[in-house]
Amino acid sequence: MTCIDHRTPSFSVSRRIARIFETPFTRRQRQLAERIASLRALTDEELARLGLRRDEILAHVFRAR
């Protein structure tokens, strides 16, 4: 018997639909938020290797535009 899991997250479909209607402004905002989140997920040692401190993340991301 085949079992189909219908509990797959629907955000992937809705996210794809949302990106169809994404404006350049919202795309840029999403990219900045993703970059900030990825840097915040790093350890202090990993940030130090990049030459950053945790309190410099926002300034670094917005300066790098």
Instruction: List the single range of 7-11, 17-21, 50-54, 58-62 with lowest mean pLDDT.
Output: 7-11
Residue 53 lies in a domain: yes
- Mapping DSSP to helix (H, G, I), strand (E, B) and coil, where does residue 3 land? coil
Buried-exposed string 13-47: b where 16+ CB fall within 10 A, e elsewhere: eeeeeeeeeeeeeeeeeeeeeeeeeebeeeeeeeb
Say what percent of the chain tops pLDDT 90. Answer: 62
Q: Which residue is listed with tokens 């840029």?
A: 28
Query: Nearest Cα to 39, choosing from 29, 49, 28?
Result: 49
Residue 59 lies in a domain: yes
Residue 52 lies in a domain: yes
Task: Record the tokens describing residue 28, joined without a space.
Answer: 């840029």
What per-residue confidence (pLDDT) applies to 21? 83
Give the structural domain span for 48: 24-63
